[in-house]
């Protein structure tokens, strides 16, 4: 799949190559997006944006990494971009409320729909809480944690995708786990 002929066909705009690319990567990209943004409709929208970006940028692909790594990098960047925009909208809505404008905050139930096959939890509330806590992590920690724990990527694969050193990835994972533990312990203390 990742041979030079296939990449050349993509660069030349062959429809059959694009169809093959979509067939091979559509589910992988969708589930990657769903790992970062656990809302089916948003994950589908982001996945479409990923393919648009691939089609627009394939001529710029330098083959310094595997095609799959390059595609995965685009998918994670699009997801992080979406999360940043969503957080910016929340802050703006919050400021509007503080200033007395009658704009409601964005839907607090955003992280309630989770259909990712890699996540098997006994109930929806725990899933919602887990994704809420993950979303509270700093971006670099959230990225490494999501790639490793939800996507099952090894530290070496994360290194290939992000360019971060293995020691940096280990440090980020350690801090992410510690922060998640604090967030979840505080939640349960407040609930009791």
pLDDT, tens digit, 9 for 90 and up, residues 158-169? 998 888 999 999
pLDDT for position 44? 93
Percent above pLDDT 70 for the chain:
74
Summarize the confidence of residues 94-111 as an average pLDDT: 43
The rounded distance, in Å, linking the Cα atoms of 10 and 49 is 17
CB 147 within 8 A of CB 153: yes
- Please say if the pLDDT value at position 65 is more than 60: yes
- The residue written with tokens 């530290």 in the block is 155
Specify whether domain 137-192 bears CATH 1.20.1530.20.
no
pTM: predicted TM-score of the whole model, two decimal places: 0.61
CB 11 within 8 A of CB 25: no
Helices 166-191 and 124-136 pack at an angle, to 10 degrees, of: 130
Angle CA 21–23–26, to nearest 5: 90
Over the chain, what is the mean pLDDT?
79
pLDDT for position 102? 43
Split at pLDDT 50, 70, 90, the class of 101 is: very low
What count of other Cβ atoms lies within 10 Å of the Cβ of residue 143? Answer: 24
Which residues fall within 8 angstroms of residue 56, CB to CB, at 6 or more apart?
none
Largest CA distance in the chain: 61
Split at pLDDT 50, 70, 90, the class of 171 is: very high
For the ranges 37-51, 101-115, 129-143, which has the lowest average pLDDT?
101-115
Helices 166-191 and 155-162 pack at an angle, to 10 degrees, of: 110
- Please say if the pLDDT value at position 12 is more than 80: yes
For the ranges 5-9, 32-36, 71-75, 119-123, which has the lowest average pLDDT?
119-123
For the ranges 22-31, 122-131, 132-141, 162-171, which has the lowest average pLDDT?
122-131
pLDDT for position 106? 41
pLDDT for position 23? 92
Summarize the confidence of residues 111-121 as an average pLDDT: 49
For residue 119, which of 132, 107, 131, 108 has the smallest C-alpha distance?
Answer: 131
The rounded distance, in Å, linking the Cα atoms of 17 and 51 is 13
The rounded distance, in Å, linking the Cα atoms of 94 and 144 is 28
Q: What is the DSSP letter of 150?
A: I
The rounded distance, in Å, linking the Cα atoms of 89 and 104 is 11
For the ranges 12-26, 76-90, 105-119, which has the lowest average pLDDT?
105-119
For residue 161, which of 79, 95, 55, 98 has the smallest C-alpha distance?
Answer: 79
């Amino acid at each position: 799949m990742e041979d030079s002929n296939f990449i050349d066909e993509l660069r030349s705009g062959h429809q059959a190559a694009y169809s093959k690319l979509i067939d091979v990567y559509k589910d992988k990209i969708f589930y990657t997006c769903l790992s970062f943004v656990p809302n089916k409709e948003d994950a589908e929208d982001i996945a479409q944006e990923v393919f648009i970006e691939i089609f627009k940028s394939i001529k710029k692909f330098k083959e310094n990494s595997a095609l799959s790594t390059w595609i995965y990098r685009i998918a994670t960047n699009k997801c992080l971009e979406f999360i940043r925009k969503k957080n910016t909208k929340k802050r703006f809505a919050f400021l509007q409320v503080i200033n007395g404008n009658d704009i409601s905050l964005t839907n607090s139930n955003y992280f309630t729909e989770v259909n990712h096959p890699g996540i098997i939890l006994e109930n929806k509330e725990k899933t919602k809480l887990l994704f809420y806590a993950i979303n509270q992590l700093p971006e670099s920690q959230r990225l490494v944690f999501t790639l490793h724990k939800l996507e099952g990527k090894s530290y070496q694969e994360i290194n290939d995708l992000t360019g971060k050193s293995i020691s940096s990835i280990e440090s980020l994972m350690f801090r992410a786990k510690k922060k998640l533990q604090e967030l979840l312990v505080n939640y349960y203390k407040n609930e009791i």
